[in-house]
């Protein structure tokens, strides 16, 4: 069986058994099988476990399915796509009994190895083979785990990883100019005349000036409504880092718009998040996306906050009112901003389509739409912010 078909069938079997094996994990397992074909059942077990298991509570269900599929009880291709398929009737042989988490095994000494028994061959028991355990580090697993699947302890660790992400906007040329030693786009008349006095009034060499460059302003608007609650704390950590390091402007919205720039200032991220939660009165409430965008453009954007800036909107696009208002305000914002980046953590789901009213209305006015649903995917957000597309979509 091809690696992709095997990974899809195993992911479907695990999903029906209660293990959240999504398409991203199935694709990861298929890549592992293509790069490192397993030589024995032990290596196949660990490749599947590292690809599909994200929590210790998922181990019993995973081991039952693995033993049923690869222990000879059944073939995953036999019941692919049949949700009413009966469970296997043959006795299930257990996979290698492992009680520690993947993170614990990753911390073992490099020279230490583990012996795992290989399922009995038809001709008799086969001697156990020596297999060097290859496990992903905890930070590496957190980088590729969706924010909605993290436990409270893992959320704290993911926030620590997200703090290391820096958002840098593309440079822009200002009206001010500075002296240039060699070349420049303007002639500095005063300096040229002063130099000409040293050569009897003959301007032998013209002095020039070059226009200065500075980073574009960064503006972030984060949806803190109930539909975005699994992602709020992680994205507020991103907002805090942008305010502290890039001097960005930060806003949150649910049923109304709240400016959090002052609340997020300060090096202590936990204290900044507490101040932010106390400042926003509509935390985890409904969603009025269009009205919040109208308030931002009217009260802040037209007064200079959004002019020539990179505007990042973090929202799933849910709108409780008329979505036409979202399209009207996004058109106004697009005329003011240099670049509009929309971060939708639900866009990473398989089969995603911008069918939600607010998202569909805003899509024509976005320069980039990224997911940002994991710590690793936040790098796409940073790349979209840093990209200088010249305002072209």
Does one domain contain both 254 and 359? Answer: yes
> Which CATH number characterizes residue 236's domain?
3.40.50.410
Between helix 229-246 and helix 269-279 the angle, nearest 10°, is: 120
Does one domain contain both 230 and 362? Answer: yes
Does one domain contain both 121 and 47? Answer: yes
Using CA atoms, how far apart are residues 274 and 278, in angstroms rounded to an integer? 6
User: Could you tell me the pLDDT band of residue 296, with boundaries at 50, 70 and 90?
Assistant: very high
Say if residue 338's pLDDT is above 70.
yes
The beta strands (E) that lie in the chain are given as 114-116, 129-131, 171-180, 186-187, 208-215, 218-223, 249-253, 257-259, 310-314, 339-343, 368-370
H/E segment holding residue 8:
helix 3-16
How much is the pLDDT for 116? 38
Does one domain contain both 255 and 345? Answer: yes
User: Could you tell me the pLDDT band of residue 393, with boundaries at 50, 70 and 90?
Assistant: very low
CB 220 within 8 Å of CB 248: yes
How much is the pLDDT for 42? 81
In a domain, residue 151? The reply is: no
* Average pLDDT of the residues in 224-236: 90
Residue 38 in tokens: 């397993």
Q: Report which of residues 72 and 11 the model is more confident about.
A: 11
Which among 147, 65, 48 is positioned nearest to 102, based on CA atoms? 48
* pLDDT tens-place string over residues 83-110: 444 344 333 333 443 333 333 433 434 3
Does one domain contain both 231 and 210? Answer: no
In a domain, residue 153? The reply is: no
Q: How many domains does the chain have?
A: 3
Domain boundary among 153, 187, 215: 215
Say if residue 65's pLDDT is above 60.
yes
> Residue 349 sits in which domain range?
161-167+216-386
How much is the pLDDT for 107? 40
Does one domain contain both 230 and 365? Answer: yes
Specify the range with the lowest mean pLDDT, choosing from 22-31, 48-57, 93-102, 170-179. 93-102
Does one domain contain both 315 and 289? Answer: yes
Percent of the chain residues topping a pLDDT of 90: 27
How much is the pLDDT for 15? 81
* Average pLDDT of the residues in 263-282: 88
Does one domain contain both 97 and 221? Answer: no
> Mean pLDDT of all residues in the chain?
79
User: Could you tell me the pLDDT band of residue 257, with boundaries at 50, 70 and 90?
Assistant: very high
User: Could you tell me the pLDDT band of residue 16, with boundaries at 50, 70 and 90?
Assistant: confident
In a domain, residue 84? The reply is: yes
Residue 35 in tokens: 């790069």
CB 360 within 8 Å of CB 326: no
- Per the listing, tokens 């949806």 go with 223
Does one domain contain both 377 and 296? Answer: yes
- Per the listing, tokens 């002639």 go with 187
Does one domain contain both 131 and 210? Answer: no
Q: How many CB atoms lie within 10 A of CB 382?
A: 16
The pTM (predicted TM-score) of the whole model is: 0.60
Using CA atoms, how far apart are residues 257 and 262, in angstroms rounded to an integer? 15
Does one domain contain both 226 and 198? Answer: no
Which among 211, 167, 62 is positioned nearest to 380, based on CA atoms? 167
CB 237 within 8 Å of CB 191: no
How much is the pLDDT for 293? 95
How much is the pLDDT for 127? 44
In a domain, residue 256? The reply is: yes
Residue 184 in tokens: 């420049």
* Average pLDDT of the residues in 39-55: 83
In a domain, residue 17? The reply is: yes
Edge-to-edge strands of the sheet including 186-187?
A: 171-180, 208-215, 186-187
Does one domain contain both 256 and 357? Answer: yes
Q: Report which of residues 209 and 170 the model is more confident about.
A: 170
Say if residue 211's pLDDT is above 70.
yes
In a domain, residue 122? The reply is: yes
Say if residue 262's pLDDT is above 60.
yes
* pLDDT tens-place string over residues 118-174: 344 444 444 443 333 344 456 778 888 888 888 888 888 888 888 888 888 999 888
């Amino acid at each position: 069986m091809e690696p992709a078909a095997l990974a899809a069938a195993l992911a479907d079997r695990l999903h029906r058994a209660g293990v959240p094996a999504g398409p991203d994990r199935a694709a990861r397992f298929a890549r592992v099988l293509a790069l490192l074909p397993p030589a024995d059942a032990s290596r196949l077990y660990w490749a599947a476990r590292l690809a599909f298991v994200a929590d210790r509570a998922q181990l019993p269900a995973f081991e039952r399915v693995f033993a049923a599929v690869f222990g000879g009880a059944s073939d995953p291709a036999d019941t692919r796509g049949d949700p009413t398929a009966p469970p296997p009737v043959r006795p299930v042989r257990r996979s290698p009994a492992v009680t520690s988490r993947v993170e614990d095994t990753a911390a073992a000494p490099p020279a230490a190895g583990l012996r795992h028994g290989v399922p009995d061959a038809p001709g008799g028991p086969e001697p156990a083979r020596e297999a060097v355990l290859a496990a992903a580090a905890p930070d590496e697993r957190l980088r590729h785990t969706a924010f909605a699947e993290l436990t409270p302890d893992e959320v704290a660790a993911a926030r620590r990883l997200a703090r290391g992400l820096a958002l840098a906007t593309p440079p822009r040329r200002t009206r001010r100019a500075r002296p240039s030693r060699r070349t420049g786009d303007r002639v500095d008349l005063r300096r040229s005349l002063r130099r000409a006095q040293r050569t009897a009034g003959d301007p032998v060499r013209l002095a020039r000036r070059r226009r200065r460059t500075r980073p574009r302003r960064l503006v972030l608007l984060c949806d803190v409504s109930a539909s975005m609650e699994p992602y709020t704390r992680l994205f507020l950590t991103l907002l805090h880092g942008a305010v502290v390091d890039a001097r960005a402007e930060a806003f949150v919205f649910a049923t109304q718009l709240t400016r959090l720039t002052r609340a997020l200032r300060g090096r202590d991220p936990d204290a900044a998040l507490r101040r932010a939660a106390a400042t926003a009165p509509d935390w985890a409430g409904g969603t009025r996306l269009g009205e919040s965008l109208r308030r931002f453009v009217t009260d802040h954007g037209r007064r200079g906050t959004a002019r020539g800036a990179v505007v990042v909107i973090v929202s799933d696009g849910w709108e409780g009112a008329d979505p036409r208002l979202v399209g009207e305000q996004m058109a106004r914002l697009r005329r003011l901003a240099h670049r509009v980046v929309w971060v939708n953590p639900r866009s990473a789901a398989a089969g995603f389509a911008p069918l939600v009213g607010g998202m569909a209305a805003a899509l024509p006015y976005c320069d980039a739409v990224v997911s940002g649903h994991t710590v690793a995917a936040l790098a796409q957000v940073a790349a979209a912010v840093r990209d200088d597309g010249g305002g072209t979509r």
